[in-house]
Amino acid sequence: MKNTFTLKAVLYVVGGLLLPFLPQAQQSISVTSPNHFVALTTTLATNGNVQYRVSYKNNTFIEPSSLGFSLSRPKLTLSQFRIISVDSSTTDETWQPVWGEVNRIRNHYKALSLLLKDKSGVLVKVHFRVFNEGIGFRYEFPKQENLTHFVVADELTQFNLAGDYKAFWIPGDYDTNEYLYNTTKLSEVNAVAAAAKETDIALKSVIGPNAIQTPLMLKTPQGLYINLHEAALVNYPVMHLMLEKKTFTLTSHLVPDAVGNKAYLQTPFQTPWRTINVSDKATDILASKLILNLNEPSKITDVSWIKPQKFIGMWWEMHVGKATWEKAGGKHGANTANVKTYIDFAAKHGFDGVLVEGWNEGWEDWFGNWKENVFDFITPYPDYNLEELTAYARQKGVRIIMHHETSGSATNYERWMDKAYKYMNDHQINTVKTGYVGKIIPRGEHHDGQWMVNHYQRVAEKAAEYKIMVEAHEPAHPTGLHRTYPNWLANEAARGNEFNNAPKLGLVPEHETILPFTRLMGGPMDYTPGFFHFQLNQYDATRTTRVKTTLAKQLALYVTMYSPLQMAGDFPENFNKHLDAFQFIKDVPVDWDDTQILEAEPGDYITIARREKGKPNWFLGAISDENSRTTALPLNFLEEGATYQATIYRDAENADWQTNPAAYSIEKMTVTNKTTLNLRLAKGGGCAVSFRKM
């Protein structure tokens, strides 16, 4: 369904007459969201500066904030404008994602577009869309005589916040987003000090003490929740934010290339959308589809081969010292016999795939040498018989998932992509996990720069030519492009579960209650949950690292940490010790028809219920931070008049992430949508529930 109404005007807008080209007149235009909660006001100041202001239920949370650009070629500052024309429209349509948290998404907004002319004669359009849950805006450089090829020095977008808000932030960094989150007031941000604590991160390129990353989650003292991010990041560098603590103003900071420029562009061109989610309910932030709605529809016409999936992996062995990626040393994990045990386990328990890392030659000197030609992606180690294993997996109804670690050498990977993907096709392997650990080649480029942003997109496009699904590790943060490229199933792009084994900081119990409000705003994360053994000295007695959750929370993460590509992270032998709890991982889907955010508070707790794709069954996950909590959950999301058998995987009474993480209990009860479910979550704990319609 689509219903679009458009009004074009040159000198007239709703609410009054514009007086363009008269420097003494300040010109303002206001647009409200369809439900009238969100109000956007744009203003052309007397000095030609274009600003915007945003309020929610009549409370301004973004004060007048400037828009503009600085170009290095031609050398111009675009900040003094005249309004040439104004367009407005309303759109209300519904679309169906290929996969996702819901089966239908409503795209309902009011739009405002300003055609501006800078004093230099350069034309710039600014497009705003005002949704019930916030706004998005982007710049457009139309085709014009005064500008064809140009180089961006800086984007001058501001977010002038109205107070010293509570922030959930990580340091601004050109090469990594694998930091723990800090929770402070904006005035207390010190990104350099926070980054200095992070000795477990292999490569850091910290921008400065006042630089922070998006998605940025904020909360006002009045209880307003705000999220700042970007959507549709295409042919442009990642936007970080520079904080001015005296005024609480955030200014866009684009990632530079090897010579210091930000973006090389040609008209016509549109920047990514800058996104602002807002609500007085934290649950609304998690439920928002604003970022997806700002991305383009799928460019892949035949999507029948794209399938969400659940998998296990020959991966965790290397992190805890049981095996190695490299063959040298005698502990090579990716050998034929060992991988067969994973295939057998996957087949027995109904998993779709088995990820194998360390299968190919080159791991002996893959990291830290800034070496361009490391892997060729088609040469297995001699003890890894790929032909035998793929045939064995097919017999069992399982597929091998390919691993392509590039060691940061994107140039080398681009040379090998066609051969590597054909090699995958020849072996009927249809999913690849890519990795970008280390410094980027081309040398001097960053993970978050324009060149690499284009590389990640080229990988998704090239993989689609071969009908291959992709998940990327160490990429730029996601911005909803999985709508446009639905074969791009998931990304890492944050601190994932491998950091359980990081010796310094590792993970903390609140981490999973923050990630959905930050990293997951842009798209699904390959978080690799599912750990049943908590002290990580099982194969190396010297290790002091541990998983900092309860076992029940590990189950709940399959619901609260959305991904269409879900891994069961632990070893088969550890799962075999708790097969009753493992049943939930076997049962929980990876694709959904409906999602209900039941309760949430960033940094504290999250409870989510989801309905299985094409079936009436529901699954619930509830997680807590380092504190225990109780909650009473009305089950009014269940079908009225229907009866369900609820299987509840809960923390035992004596469970505690520090002292007794593996203590859990399982119980069954009959429920309806009139039932209230009373839950107690342990410290660092959780609860997972399956609801089977009877």
Label the pairing between strands 431-435 and 399-405: parallel
Active-site option among 101, 230, 357, 498: 498
3-state secondary structure of 606: strand
The partner residues of 177 in beta bridges, in order of sequence, read none
**Nearest one of 541, 41, 517 to 281, comparing CA atoms:** 517
Can you say whether the dihedral through the CA atoms of 188, 192, 196, 201 is positive or negative? Answer: positive
Task: Read off the amino acid at residue 448.
Answer: D
Please confirm, yes or no, whether 498 is among the known catalytic residues: yes
- 3-state secondary structure string, 301-359? CCCCCCCCEEEEEECHHHHCCCCECCCCCCCECCCHHHHHHHHHHHHHCCCCEEEECCC
Q: For residues 366 and 372, is the Cβ–Cβ distance under 8 A?
A: no
Q: Please give the Cα distance from 68 to 458 (Å, whole number).
A: 29
Strand (E) or helix (H) holding 389 = helix 386-395
**Cross-strand bridge partners of residue 137:** 128, 274
**What values do phi and psi take at 453, rounded to 5?**
-55, -40
Q: Are 570 and 532 in contact (CB under 8 A)?
A: yes
Which residue spans within 49-205 are E strands per DSSP?
Answer: 50-56, 59-66, 69-73, 75-78, 81-95, 105-118, 123-131, 134-141, 149-155, 158-161, 166-169, 182-185
What is the enclosing helix (H) or strand (E) of 565? strand 565-568
Query: Which residues are within 8 A (CB) of 546 and not within 5 positions of it... i.e. 6 or more apart?
Result: 500, 506, 534, 535, 536
Question: HSE of 133 in the Cβ direction (CA atoms, 13 Å)?
Answer: 21
- Neighbouring C-beta atoms of residue 328, cutoff 10 Å: 10
Residue with tokens 């691993």: 403
- For the record, the structure tokens of 175 come out as 């090469």
Residues near 610 by Cβ (< 8 Å), separated by ≥ 6? 101, 559, 589, 592, 594, 595, 596, 618, 619, 620
Q: Provide DSSP, 9-74.
A: ESSEETTEE--TT-TT--EEEEEE-TTS-EEEEEEE-TTS-EEEEEEETTEEEEEEEE--EEEEET
Cα 391 to chain centroid, rounded: 34
Contact between 226 and 232 under an 8 Å Cβ cutoff? The reply is no
* Other CB atoms within 10 A of residue 458 CB: 14
Residue 580, both tokens: 């009753």
**Cα distances (Å, whole numbers) of residue 660 to 570, 579, 654, 655:** 18, 19, 7, 5
**Cβ neighbours around 234 below 10 Å, total:** 17
Q: Which amino acid is at 66?
A: S
Beta carbons of 241 and 158 less than 8 angstroms apart: no
Q: How many CA atoms lie within 13 A of 186 on its CB side?
A: 24
Beta-bridge mates of residue 503: none
- Residues involved in catalysis: 498
